[in-house]
Amino acid sequence: MASKEIDLNCDMGESYGRFKIGNDEVVMQYISSCNIACGFHGGDPLTIQRTIELALKNGVKVGAHPGFPDLQGFGRRSMQLPEEELFAIMQYQVAAVKGMTEAAGGKLRHVKPHGALYNMAAKDDQVAEIIVKAILSIDPQLVLYGPPNSSLTKKAKSYDLVCKNEVFADRNYNEDLSLVDRQNSNALISEIQSMFEHVLYMLRDGKVKTISGVIKAIKAQTICIHGDKPNAGEVARFLSENLQAAGFYVR
């Protein structure tokens, strides 16, 4: 059986100053693209620079991971911002990582909003449109990562911005294919074997078992793991090796 290519991505570069989050050095060995925090929810200039260099060294595609200006809440608290301010913070963050990537001899490939901004854009057409327009203002060749069948991916398509349907290895889904809220006890999948089975079902069968037990169709083009977890390196290695064994080449 011929191998099928699949993109395995990870949110990275989220350390800040002396506060270290995740294990980017280990994770980077097993993924094909990374989403680098832009300094608003995590990341500082030196962390961003080092993460870009680490990605280029490992042949991993570089993406920007912009979020709300919310270091205290790690970008997971919703904020209501004027349209022009939301556009500006998106443009500022993506442009910064793009410029630093090019200075290191690389090229920014994609953009993935972070946390609360990601979840808002999945349901709010206005927020989604601002994000898409901000990306297009910087580079129309960039690729957007977003939730399947969401306002964000639909808006991207309406503006001819290339987008990839992103699914999560460690998150459970509601029947409308939105992510179960992190405040709920059943939002996260913590056992690594369960993560793999969850991902394999989406890739091989194009389906996901929702939190209510209903089976829904889903299109997965890129798989996300979270780099802020203590066992992120172990998760990345396990998924990469087992996906390859199942006929999916991480690339």
**What is residue 213's DSSP assignment?**
S
Q: Is the pLDDT of residue 34 over 70?
A: yes
d(CA 251, CA 245): 14
163-184 b/e (C-beta count within 10 Å ≥ 16 → b): bbbbbbbbbbbeeebebbeeee
- The distance between the two most distant Cα atoms of the chain, rounded to a whole number of Å, is 52
**Cα separation values, 86 from 45, 121, 182, 243, Å:** 21, 12, 23, 37
Q: What b/e readout covers 86-106, taking b as 16+ CB neighbours within 10 angstroms?
A: bbebbbebbbbbbebbeebeb
What was the pLDDT predicted at 230?
79
- CA of residue 175 relative to chain centroid, distance: 21
Give the model confidence (pLDDT) of 75-113 as tens digits: 999 999 999 999 999 999 999 999 999 999 999 999 999
Query: What size, in residues, is the chain?
Result: 251
Sign of the C-alpha dihedral computed for residues 55, 56, 57 and 58 taken in this order:
positive
Read off the tokens for 108. 């920014």
Give the pairing of strands 215-217 and 207-209: antiparallel
Distance CA 5, CA 222 (A): 10
Q: In this predicted structure, what is the pLDDT of residue 22?
A: 86
Residue 2 has pLDDT above 60, yes or no: no
- Mean of pLDDT over the chain: 95
Copy the structure tokens of residue 220: 């997965």
- Cα angle: 239, vertex 245, 247; to 5 degrees: 100
CATH for 4-250, among 3.20.20.370, 3.40.630.30, 3.90.79.10, 3.40.50.300? Answer: 3.20.20.370
